[in-house]
């Protein structure tokens, strides 16, 4: 075996083992805070971030998800080793309507959507799927266009709204709250697993673990789920919820975190760069990539794209997404002042 072949083999072995190396580390429940938000303490550790394309795993993904629209992994590759060097505490659930209401009541805060002509809402009467989501002044976190309780995830909030919530809560409790980095988010979501989802690789298992586009949504809004997936479309198949689900309704991941897949897209700290993962390997020969470890990745640079807005990364998928599009590695973005009925957030509490 040549040195090059040996290095390639070691890289594949690394991809197979790096995430599971942290599986024996157990996340530890932390105390509630004044808003009754529950947190889990996540241990420091290493994992493989991104979509692993070794051994043609993207081809296998398309076979397993053959009844779903084809996925594009270009924003999630190349997979790479990442290290989280400090423990942190992350919310067990997404921030709820009730918790956000407490913030608004205490500060008289008005969200971006309330000040700037509303958020993106869902309008099922539109004939074309892509036209069903558009901005409207009546859509805000108080009136998203569908029923929510105080225990549902707050939606129609922008990145700036989420940052203001964290700023207020930090001052209130004298400890720093913030949005998770993309790396922290994926590390917590995977919970030591290398698989596409924190529960494994069966897309139909999503309905036990996540609120995704399913038969209930298809029954309520015909040709919505069908646009993404051609199976499990009868009303009694799926997770049973049309729009958002109350937090912690489904099974948690191995570290006790709920709704990391689906329900609402979650804002992260990072600015968006579609080529982010390629940047880590600039000037690094392919046969040496296994030696690269990215410590505490956090991308805050402004790229050429940012001359048109402050684009921020979001993670996890939402109630609008079929199972294929709520995988642990999936990434998307929006402008930091934008708000939508499929977007919310969860917070990190820093460990002193």
Q: In which band, very low, low, confident or very high, does the pLDDT at 25 lie, cut at 50, 70 and 90?
A: low
Q: Residue 20: which pLDDT band, with cuts at 50, 70 and 90?
A: very low
- Mean pLDDT across 200-207: 97
Segment 106-123 shows an average pLDDT of: 97
- Confidence check: pLDDT of 341 > 50: yes
Whether the predicted pLDDT of 149 surpasses 80: yes
For the ranges 5-9, 52-56, 199-203, which has the lowest average pLDDT? 5-9
Query: For the range 289-293, what are the long-range contacts, defined as Cβ-Cβ under 8 Å and sequence gap of 24 or more?
Result: 289/11, 289/78, 289/80, 290/7, 290/10, 290/11, 290/14, 290/81, 292/80, 292/81, 293/46, 293/81, 293/82, 293/83
Describe the crossing of helices 97-107 and 159-173 by its angle, rounded to 10 degrees: 70
**pLDDT, tens digit (0-9, with 9 covering 90-100), for 251-279:** 999 999 999 999 999 999 999 999 999 99
| Residue 51 near residue 58, CB atoms below 8 Å | yes
Closest CA to 346 of 254, 231, 269: 269
DSSP label of 307:
G
* Sheet containing strand 45-49, strands side by side: 45-49, 80-84, 293-295
pLDDT higher than 90, residue 329: yes
Instruction: Answer yes or no: is pLDDT of 129 > 90.
Output: no
> In 3D, which of 176, 135, 146, 201 has the Cα closest to residue 334?
135
Percentage of residues of the chain with pLDDT beyond 90: 85
In the predicted model, is pLDDT for residue 130 greater than 90? Answer: no
Cα dihedral value 160, 132, 73, 58, nearest 10: 140
**What domains are there in the chain, each with its CATH number?**
3-350 (3.90.1580.10)
Q: Which pLDDT belongs to residue 4?
A: 39
Instruction: Write the CB contacts of 305 (distance below 8 Å, at least 6 apart in sequence).
Output: 272, 273, 311
Q: Which of 180, 216, 225, 218 lies closest to 316 in space, CA to CA?
A: 180
| Residue 127, pLDDT score | 75
Q: Is the pLDDT of residue 82 over 50?
A: yes
CB of 156 closer than 8 Å to CB of 139: yes
Retrieve residue 177's tokens: 């709250």
Contacts of 228 (CB under 8 A, 6+ apart): 68, 69, 213, 321, 322, 324, 325
* Range 14-35 average pLDDT: 60
Computed over every residue of the chain, the mean pLDDT equals 92
Distances (CA, A) of 321 to 9, 248, 285: 35, 18, 36
Cis peptide before 78 (omega within 30 of 0): yes
Mean pLDDT, residues 100-105: 98
| pLDDT score at 134 | 94
Q: 3-state DSSP call for residue 64?
A: helix
């Amino acid at each position: 075996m040549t040195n090059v072949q040996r290095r390639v083999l070691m890289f594949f072995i690394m991809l197979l083992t790096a995430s599971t190396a942290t599986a024996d580390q157990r996340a530890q429940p932390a105390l509630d805070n004044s808003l009754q938000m529950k947190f889990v303490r996540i241990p420091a550790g290493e994992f493989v971030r991104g979509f692993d394309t070794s051994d043609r795993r993207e081809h296998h993904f398309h076979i397993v998800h053959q009844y779903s629209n084809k996925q594009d992994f270009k924003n999630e590759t190349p997979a790479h080793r990442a290290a989280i060097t400090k423990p942190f505490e992350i919310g067990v659930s997404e921030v709820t309507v009730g918790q956000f209401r407490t913030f608004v009541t205490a500060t008289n805060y008005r969200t971006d959507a309330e000040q700037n002509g509303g958020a993106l809402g869902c309008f099922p009467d539109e004939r074309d799927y892509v036209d069903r989501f558009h901005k409207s002044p009546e859509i805000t976190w108080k009136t998203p266009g569908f029923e929510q309780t105080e225990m549902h995830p707050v939606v129609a909030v922008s990145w700036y709204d989420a940052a203001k919530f964290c700023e207020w809560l930090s001052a209130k409790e004298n400890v720093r709250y913030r949005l998770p980095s993309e790396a922290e988010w994926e590390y917590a979501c995977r919970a030591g697993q290398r698989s596409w989802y924190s529960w494994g690789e069966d897309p139909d298992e999503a309905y036990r673990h996540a609120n995704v586009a399913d038969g209930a949504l298809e029954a309520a809004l015909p040709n919505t789920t069908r646009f993404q997936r051609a199976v499990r479309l009868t009303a009694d198949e799926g997770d049973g919820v049309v729009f958002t689900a109350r937090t912690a309704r489904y099974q948690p991941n191995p570290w006790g975190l709920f709704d990391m897949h689906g329900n609402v897209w979650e804002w992260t700290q990072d600015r968006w760069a579609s080529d982010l993962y390629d940047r880590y390997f600039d000037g690094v020969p392919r046969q040496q990539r296994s030696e690269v470890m990215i410590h505490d990745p956090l991308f805050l640079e402004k790229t050429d794209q940012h001359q048109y807005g402050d684009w921020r990364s979001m993670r996890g998928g939402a109630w609008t997404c079929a199972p294929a599009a709520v995988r642990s590695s999936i990434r998307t973005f929006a402008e930091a002042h934008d708000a939508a009925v499929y977007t919310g957030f969860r917070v990190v509490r820093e460990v002193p």
